[in-house]
Amino acid sequence: MSEKKRMAPKLRFPRFTDDWEQRKLGEYLEVSPKKNKEETYDKTDVLSVSGDVGIVNQIEFQGRSFAGVSVANYGVVENEDVVYTKSPLKANPYGIIKTNKGKAGIVSTLYAVYKPRDIADPKFVQVYFEQDTRMNNYMRPLVNKGAKNDMKVSNENALKGLVIFPKLEEQRQISTYFESFDHLITLHQRKLDHLKDEKKSLLQKMFPKKGEDFPELRFPGFTDAWEQRKLGELADNTYGGGTPNTSNDTYWNGEIPWIQSSDLKEHRIFGVKPRKYISQSGLMNSATKLVPENSIAIITRVGVGKLAVMPFSYTTSQDFLSLSRIKTDIWFTAYLIYRKLQRELNSVQGTSIKGITKGELIAKMVSVPTKNEQVQIGCFFRNLDTLITLHQRKLDHLQDLKKALLQSMFV
């Protein structure tokens, strides 16, 4: 006879050797009967459940309360209560489960509130369901979706699925570990957000405001006024783009880089990695042009506002206009255009910008300092963006590592 398969994770803390147990979730949680009948809590105490930040005060998180006239029928959520939200999210079409780690509050009837039983660590319950696949696989058989995509599952039935948990001591060890890991991720996210905010602020201060000839902040030794120039005057050549016939295989998989809008990242003007290449035949038989190295590729259609310095020769789709043989410092010029486009996008926020023509782009007025100051500014922002990129990579690595641990530390 074959040996019974052990119910244990691939990776676990030392001294834990017992098999994990498969039970119904209802053996670890029970429905909380507490309601806000006495209206001990008001609209300022309403909580929201977020996939990213967990259970938070609704007003602090969303800027306002979405509660109805009365909150007397709302469920009370105390510290370490577990909440299941019956609202579909993109990655979690059957809702999410989170544990309240903060102050007590109330939630609408769209949420189910549970108390942990003696054999359950409530923080472990949240960690267990943080993996999207595990959460979706658990809830899928229990939930019926209505015509309006609403969740049809009772608070009791949501507990009838099977879970595989360790004993309480190991639950606590795992949840404590992930709590520390989440804290580390939060610290890296804050550092990254701070750098991005710093960049945004410096882009405003180190370039002149509209109608002015001097920036608010500049490097020592520079005092001259900036000159007004048309953007088209900063480059000798411009290039459009096009797409070779996609049904002709001989036009593709060659050695000439061909970039499209999705190859460029928001707020990052270097490091483009082409995903598609065309052949010489594809170049000759389409509207795309071979753009020389050290040019600036600017998206003028879908994705307006993205641009990149291109250190190698390349071709583009019709969504681009490229500036080549640039007379000013290339990095300064890239950030100058980036700032210009971002300001215009922000001024029309809420409306859709379908595109910008070549004529409109090269006719835009910009302010330009002396070449030495250009070099200093361009170098400064390139170094700042490099630092931002490094912090983003660290954060991505930590988030990927957490995903891997959520897989290997559970059954």
Prediction pTM value? 0.87
Distances from the Cα of 75 to the Cα of 32, 55, 153, 154, 313, angstroms:
8, 14, 17, 14, 62
Distances from the Cα of 56 to the Cα of 52, 81, 107, 109, 252, angstroms:
11, 13, 11, 17, 51
CB 96 within 8 A of CB 135: yes
CB 260 within 8 A of CB 317: yes
Q: How many domains does the chain have?
A: 3
In this prediction, residue 367 carries a pLDDT of 97
Chain length of the chain: 411
In this prediction, residue 349 carries a pLDDT of 55
Is residue 99 located within the same domain as residue 185? no
Distances from the Cα of 136 to the Cα of 80, 90, 97, 139, 282, angstroms:
23, 11, 11, 5, 45
First to last CA, the chain: 24
CA distance 350 to 347: 9
Q: Is 97 domain-assigned?
A: yes
Is residue 153 located within the same domain as residue 186? no
In this prediction, residue 134 carries a pLDDT of 97
Range of the domain at 184: 168-205+369-410
Q: Residue with structure tokens 């769209």?
A: 110
Is residue 132 located within the same domain as residue 174? no
User: CB atoms < 10 A from the CB of 236, how many?
Assistant: 11
Which residues are CB-neighbours of 228 under 8 A, at least 6 positions away? 213, 365, 366, 367, 368
User: CB atoms < 10 A from the CB of 257, how many?
Assistant: 21
Which residues are CB-neighbours of 227 under 8 A, at least 6 positions away? 367, 368, 369
Is residue 139 located within the same domain as residue 238? no
Q: Is 398 domain-assigned?
A: yes
DSSP states along 180-203 = HHHHHHHHHHHHHHHHHHHHHHHH
Instruction: Give the chain's residues under pLDDT 70.
Output: 1-4, 146-149, 348-353
The amino acid that residue 226 corresponds to is W
Q: Is 8 domain-assigned?
A: no
CB 291 within 8 A of CB 283: no
User: CB atoms < 10 A from the CB of 275, how many?
Assistant: 11
Burial class (CB in 10 A: 0-12, 13-18, 19+), 1: exposed
CATH number of the domain encompassing residue 364 = 3.90.220.20
Q: Is 79 domain-assigned?
A: yes
CATH number of the domain encompassing residue 141 = 3.90.220
In this prediction, residue 1 carries a pLDDT of 40
Is residue 377 located within the same domain as residue 306? no
Q: Is 113 domain-assigned?
A: yes
CB 192 within 8 A of CB 38: no
Q: Is 6 domain-assigned?
A: no
For the chain, percent helix, then strand, then coil, each to nearest 5?
35, 20, 45
Burial class (CB in 10 A: 0-12, 13-18, 19+), 94: buried
